[in-house]
A and B are shown apart, each in its own frame.
Chain A
């Protein structure tokens, strides 16, 4: 099911990242900025409440283990698609993310256009690895 507006929630302990995504998404057609969470502790509840289409989830954060939260979220809200949003792409992290139910793996160093494109494709039902993650896995 393709929605005309993609509802995005961002989870990152770095406020600048949250602010950057807010700026980008609020200025781009086709996206709805739902807000920013500094940790994943309350993500499952917030997701149930906000009904995001796509969640950008940081891996390196204080508080709850993002992978555990991802597993819980995948079970509770299967319509919410999570894209792991990390500073570094590593094979075992990509495997863990997929296993826990992630729909994508994206490096923060990708261009903002790539980030938006990834969100779009995931929202359309495609599993997406960012260029960095692809490079790590190989062709």
Chain B
């Protein structure tokens, strides 16, 4: 340890020695420079400062302690103190004097002297020096600590300013007192506008409560993480993620808090996009599930129909077969003349047999494949069809139930056989009638309308009580019925479904409680539009076929198509429109003569070939053994050509075909 360096201003050499002796004897290892005049004192001070610039009063060159007499010739202690305070303010200054009165002593202390020792009581010098040195050391230590702190803060701030995150510092109450440069640049506001509550202006109002919540956590001494929107200098709100921790001194004392934020907007956007996509995905999955369920429902129905088909064919066949003997025996019983009571029994049995018959019929129809049920290439003119079937359908309704129709003319033809359409409508109207039985003001409405170019909807609605969702969903299933067995076969609507499906259409059931039920048959439409059959008497057809069986068949088919039929030998009279004849020699010539130039006349030659005769569009030859279906087709073509509506339809059809080609 280096000896203590002491500057001693004293005009008496004896007193200076005395002090030195006293110090050394007191164990103070020291080197004393003894000056006597103001000039020497000032020089010594300045030399010491010069020798250790920036470190006055400490280290080499500087003095550790100044001792000074108070009463000096031409100089006094007060001036010396002032000089020392100016040149080396940190160096402790102790007066050692004989004349120091109490008042002066207090004044010197006020002026900055560290202590004073009376020469009469020089034994106090050593403790006074020790105390002064200890105090000086403490002051130096404090100053160094303050400097270190300032330096550390400066280092932290320069580091924080260079960091790529937003950083702030808060005091013990959580109030923000400092923001780093990235924060200030991000928000575009100067520091003084942000300290305290100022920065909250940059936070989205909706997020302020969250931010306040995080501040409470911090104030309670816990770390806090919060997401909020911070307004950027360009006015855009950016999502930031802030993490803040309370700061503590090594001794555990609270020392404010520090927080840092990163811009997570891109992250948030990606996350919400992901969330949206996942919602979209859920929606897609849900809708796909609904589709699958619906398709599964259809499949289930189709499977049930298919499985049923095989069974139905057999069962329907057998029931039908067994019913014949039952009915025959009932007939036989009745023919014997029964008592009234027995007649009632027979009647009851007959009703049950009737139910079984309907069941068998339904089963047989269900078992038929689509082609057998609805012959291909058939089309129905709805307006005309309605004219033919409305009587039959009205007859199916219980008394008091009204049947109305909205079936406009000029709808496209539906690609479904009229018989099949009748069967479907029959079942639906009958069903509606059952639903409405006993209800006042019951009404069944049959409507037809074109939904699009390719679809015509025929619907049967009732104003009955409607169905539950369960019933609505299942009502097309075979054997599903809400009525008592023995009254309903549960096949009617399944049959409708089957018929419509065979024709390439679809049945939709709409029903709501109190609003009745509508069965909508969406049927494929022809591009042809129905036209009215020209009014007037039925045209005449002559059948000159020698074979009774064949002639009878042809006559029957012609009558069905609306002709009046005469069976006689040809050639025909002038009023005949169609001539059906057996082939043979000269028939081709007779046919040509009959047709002449009348575009409406037609001839069908059965069991013969045109031979050498040139083909004529109005003369058809049916070659080989005639079949019911081929003859029927020929007769229908002739009918379409001869009868008003048919003529139109045929022309349109030809146009269609050429258009397709």
A contact set with B: CB distance below 8 Å = 14, 16-17, 19-21, 23-24, 27, 60, 87-88, 90-91, 94-95, 98-99, 101, 103, 107-109, 111-112, 115, 125-129, 135-139
Contacts and interface: CB of A to CB of B under 8 A. Distances in A.
Interface residues of B, number: 44
Given A112-B331, A125-B552, A138 B419 contact: yes
Interface in B385-408: none
Given A23-B332, A95-B629, A112-B328, A139 B560 contact: yes
A138 B321 contact: no
A17 B324 CA distance: 7
Contacts of A136: 368, 372-373
Nearest to B631: A98
Given A19-B325, A111-B327, A137 B552 contact: no
B172 interface: no
23 contacts: A16-B321, A16-B325, A17-B324, A20-B324, A20-B327, A23-B325, A23-B331, A24-B332, A27-B331, A88-B313, A90-B368, A91-B629, A95-B629, A98-B628, A108-B321, A108-B324, A109-B323, A111-B327, A126-B556, A127-B550, A129-B628, A138-B632, A139-B561
A94 B327 CA distance: 25
Contact of B357 (A16, A17, A109, A129): A109
Contacts, number: 107
A88 to B, nearest CB: 6
A98 B552 contact: no
A132 B402 CA distance: 29
A2 to B, nearest CB: 13
* Most chain B beta-carbon neighbours within 10 Å: one of A14, A17, A20, A112: A20
Contacts of B321: 14, 16-17, 87, 108
Contacts of A128: 556
B331 A87 contact: no
Interface string B327-343: 11101100100000000
Interface of B: 313, 316-318, 320-329, 331-332, 335, 357, 360-361, 364, 368, 372-373, 375, 378, 417-419, 423, 548-550, 552-553, 556, 560-561, 625-629, 632
Contacts of A135: 419, 423
A136 B375 CA distance: 8
Nearest to B551: A127
A137 B360 CA distance: 19
B553 A127 contact: yes
B378 A138 contact: yes
Nearest to A12: B321
A60 B360 CA distance: 17
Nearest to B550: A127
Contact of A90 (B357, B372, B378, B556): B372
A26 B130 CA distance: 157
Contacts of A129: 556, 628
A28 to B, nearest CB: 8
B364 A88 contact: yes
B276 to A, nearest CB: 57
Contact of B628 (A14, A23, A94, A108): A94
A108 B332 contact: no
A84 B117 CA distance: 155
